Chain A
Amino acid sequence: MEDMLFYDRMQFAFTITFHYLFPQLTMGLSLIIVYFKWKFLRTRIDYYNDAAKFWMRIFALNFAMGVVTGIPMEFQFGTNWAKFSELTGGIIGQTLAMEGMFSFFLESSFLGLFLFGEKLLGHKLHFVTGFLVFLGSWASGFLIIATHSWMQHPVGYEILSNGKFVLNNFSALFSNPWLLPSYLHNQLASLVTASFVMAAIGAFYILNDRHSNFGKLFVKTGVIVGLVSSVLVAFPTGDWAAKNVVEHQPVTFAAMEGLFKTQDGGSEIVLIGQPNVVDKKLDNKIAVPNILSFLTYKKWDAEVKGLNEFDPENYPTNIPGLYYAYHIMVGLGTLFIGIMALGAFQLWRKKLYSTKWILWSLLFFLPFPYIANTTGWYTAELGRQPWLVYNLLRTSEGISPTVSSGNTLFTLLGFIGLYLLLGMLFLILVGKIINKGPVTSEA
């Protein structure tokens, strides 16, 4: 039983982590592409159109990866989490099916038109198809986060005597207080990834002295969008999302912050330290007094509940993992603001394109938003444990009763092998696109 649960969780964690490397770029990127297309429509300078088309090629590749790695996500609800699907399908099936029916179709249909239909459609309609691709991908994110929010903070349901969850209020799914902060936080984080990738590739072109005219546009756009989104992702949206955790999942919040005991006279905020679950303390701790109380309740001496106040039965199952995921996300997020602020400062002084160390840093930072996004999601998902539906259905109660651990390990290994191949393929293909660079259209 323990093994089954472990392999089911590992398989879901592995496949979702790999899957989300792609949508986190495409959602943010689609918005920037729409901006380039719009700029082209207004100015009719081919430069912007060529930039949009270059990024659309990268978008399309990421989208295709998102599709092929997305199908296993949906299937796993049934294959590995059959009991969960049976009990809650009437509710989360709604939002997941809507995602497929509304947003996914929108995105994929118009992506084909955007990629291959420019000549047939004309500039204005081509812009419209680009906009619809953006709309589809953001709607997709919304419906997935609506599903996620219901699991974190269930609303609009009723539990029947046979244990099944049934929906009794459809609109409650969308007015869930968990939804909006999470959605905005996530979309901004996606913009952070997109802008860092754009800035990194722009820096790569400038440093290589190839396609530097495009490189400048990419670095400039990346830095401006990157600064705005890095700030907004932390404040206010990150703050809102954290307040939801404080209010609805206080035990999770205590674990995230590594707060084993309630502290009198206000809680300190931990910057560095390793959770020691056995002795219920942090090793090698560096902390600043009273800041956590202030950030959480706007009062220096407010009481923040520590883990000691809760039933160990309901502790998040992996406290150190949750703590690290959260601290890595926050730490990187802070660095992002710093690097983008420096870039923006140099841009304002008109020295950005010649300041080599900034360009190198932008290039070097390419992988980090991916790590921050992933650890952010780990914070949310590890934080929800040991529950599938918070406070109502435990994760161990949701797995498929008839699928043995041997079979799950077999498919997990298969996925690892296949995704390794898929990852290499992606790197080759994206490398080729970047190496070729934007194509200047002949006037």
Chain B
Amino acid sequence: MLAIYVILDGYDFGAGIVHLFFAKKEKDKKAITNAIGPFWDANEVWLIASGGVLFFAFPTLYASSFSGFYLPLIMILWLLIFRAIGLELRGQIHNKLWETVWDKAFGIASFLLALFFGIALGNVVRGVNLGMVENGISAHEAHYFFLPLWNPTFSPSAEHLGIIDWFTILLGLVGVITLTIHGANWIIYKTNSDLNNKLKTAIFRLNFVLLALVILSLVVWHVIAPKPFHNFIERPWMWIFPLLTLTGLFGLFKVKTFKKDGIGFIFSSLFILGGFASTAASIFPKVLPSTNTVNPSLTIYNVAADEYGLSVGINWFIIALILLIAYVFIQYKVFKGKMDDIGYGEH
């Protein structure tokens, strides 16, 4: 569910980044906001639903990670709100300066959100000091922790970890580039803007950067976390996830030759989905690794809710999911095609 959220809200973050760096003309900006107009707040509903499901299925993980990652999570909330303000406020007053300010606010908030999501992934991969162990003694219960935004050395292997270090920043950049490509694909799919050809070139070039970053982060990952590829040797079927990622990545090099405008979007979605699944597979069954030897990592088994609750939950969850897919299907069917053709008008 979280992966779906990232794919969906990811494209509107990406569109925001594209907006920040590529859209120079008023017409292009209009095209971009039209492309995400009727979708962005529905996409954010996925975040709420993912949070809710995490809450009921894995209460311990929810409690541990939300309080431990307190500061970045609250900042993500602020950015989400700020971004919405920018998007809505911009068109209210027709004044050059006003529009520029809110354009930048919208773009920068989108950029930071993409960066933060990458950093978040980095933190999960790297692990945290569960129980806040110091000199071999836990200061808190075994599954609680708290991370400051950074430590003085920005190092992922220091004793006192921070949210932001050079490793998580690296993954943050992966997040930014990925979502930029993803957002550009969405714009190409949803508009007839003059920007589209320029964006295809940009995707092609950014894809090289992405490839380089992915290789770099895998190498670094190998250095700082023990045995990241262990699971793939033990369970060869898991190779399907990295393969999915690679298909997405290499598919995007052919962006200029696609006959249909939606294909690029499918490839970038594959890349994101595959990336998430590969990461999860690599740390499985852990969901939040411990960096100390005193307290065990949080795993899928020790954070789940009780059995009765889960078995009831799965029933309504399946019903809800079917309904949900139906809604999304209806919604995208009604708004199919290019948004500038539909011209959904003022908000």
Contacts and interface: CB of A to CB of B under 8 A. Distances in A.
Contact of B320 (A64, A98, A421): A98
A87 B63 CA distance: 9
A275 B51 CA distance: 42
B312 A68 contact: no
Interface in A46-102: 60, 64, 67-72, 74-75, 77-80, 82-83, 85-91, 93-94, 96-102
B41 interface: yes
Contacts of B51: 71, 74-75, 78, 100
B81 A422 contact: yes
A121 B330 CA distance: 11
A78 B62 contact: yes
B84 A402 contact: no
Contact of B59 (A89, A101, A106, A403): A89
Contacts of A93: 52, 55-57, 59, 62, 305
A167 B306 contact: yes
A138 B336 CA distance: 29
B41 A101 contact: no
A100 B52 contact: yes
A76 to B, nearest CB: 9
B45 A105 contact: yes
B276 interface: no
Interface residues of A, number: 67
Nearest to A91: B309
**Chain B CB within 10 A, most for which of A74, A101, A109, A166:** A101
B44 A104 contact: no
How large, as a class, is the contact surface on chain B? 35 or more
B78 A79 contact: no
B56 A89 contact: yes
Best-buried of A77, A90, A104 by chain B (most CB within 10 Å): A90
Interface string B187-218: 00000000000000000000000000000000
B159 interface: no
Contact of A429 (B41, B67, B74, B88): B88
Interface in A393-442: 400-404, 407, 411, 414-415, 418, 421-422, 425, 428-429, 432
Nearest to B320: A101
A168 B316 CA distance: 16
Contacts of B308: 166-168
Nearest to B65: A78
Given A104-B45, A109-B330, A71 B55 contact: no
Interface in B125-149: 132, 140-141, 144-146
A121 B85 contact: no
A106 B328 CA distance: 10
Contact of A115 (B38, B80, B321, B330): B38
Contacts of A235: none
Interface in A304-337: none
B70 interface: yes
A335 to B, nearest CB: 35
A70 B48 contact: yes
Contact of B67 (A71, A121, A168, A402): A402
Report which residue of B67, B68, B312, B331 has the largest number of chain A beta carbons within 10 angstroms of its beta carbon: B67
B300 interface: no
A112 interface: yes
Interface string B72-114: 0110011011101100110010000000000000000000000
Contact of B324 (A89, A101, A428): A101
A113 interface: yes
Contacts of A97: 49, 52-53, 55-57, 313, 317
B70 A407 contact: yes
A74 B80 CA distance: 14
Interface string A157-169: 0001000101110
Contacts of B312: 94, 167, 170
B284 interface: no
A338 interface: no
A425 B88 contact: yes
B47 interface: yes
Nearest to A132: B327
Contacts of A90: 56, 59, 305-306, 309
Interface in A141-178: 160, 164, 166-168, 170
A173 B94 CA distance: 51
10 contacts: A67-B48, A78-B66, A86-B63, A98-B320, A110-B327, A116-B345, A400-B67, A402-B68, A402-B146, A411-B74
Task: Name the 7 nearest CB pairs between A and B, nearest first.
Answer: A89-B59, A78-B66, A93-B56, A97-B52, A400-B67, A82-B67, A100-B49
Interface of B: 38-39, 41-42, 44-45, 47-49, 51-53, 55-57, 59-60, 62-68, 70-71, 73-74, 77-78, 80-82, 84-85, 88-89, 92, 132, 140-141, 144-146, 305-306, 308-309, 312-313, 316-317, 320-321, 323-324, 327-328, 330-331, 334-335, 342, 344-345, 347
